[in-house]
Amino acid sequence: MIHQIDTTDNIVAFRALAEVTKEDFLTTVTPAVEHLVKQVNEINFLLVLDTDIKNFTPGSWLEDGLLGLKHLGKWNRAAIVTDTEEIISFTNGFSYIVPGEFRGYKKADFNKALNWVEGNIS
């Protein structure tokens, strides 16, 4: 399940808990991202992983990929907050293959991640 986190109007932020499904993306993530693109013409995105990556269903990965491709040129800043080093490293390397900046953060650095995605720090 994915819950949206209340933030400033220039970003979308989510917390993933337990199993994450295709329906989570279709009902929560996709509409929020679509609204953000209409409002600010870019995507600033934060995801807190409070579940294991293995809990993402194949349908959720498909929807995530489709959403990313649909707005490929709109990605500005995206942060993944987790205590899993492999996910942090993968996220940090993502900037080399797609437009936008991507960073991984430890859970203890949630506020830093949020400030970075909001554009308050570089």
pLDDT tens per residue across span 46-79: 999 999 989 999 888 888 888 877 888 899 999 9
- Cα separation, 34 vs 49, whole angstroms: 21
Structural domains counted in the chain: 1
The H-or-E segment that residue 87 falls in is helix 85-94
- Are 12 and 4 spatial neighbours (Cβ–Cβ below 8 Å)? yes
What pLDDT score was predicted for residue 1? Answer: 96
- State which residues form the domain around 40: 2-118
The pLDDT mean for the chain works out to 92
pTM score above 0.85: yes
Tokens in use for 117? Answer: 């995605």
Where would I find the beta strands (DSSP E) of the chain? 2-5, 12-17, 43-50, 75-81, 101-105
Report, in this order, helix, strand and coil percent for the chain, each rounded to 5: 50, 25, 25
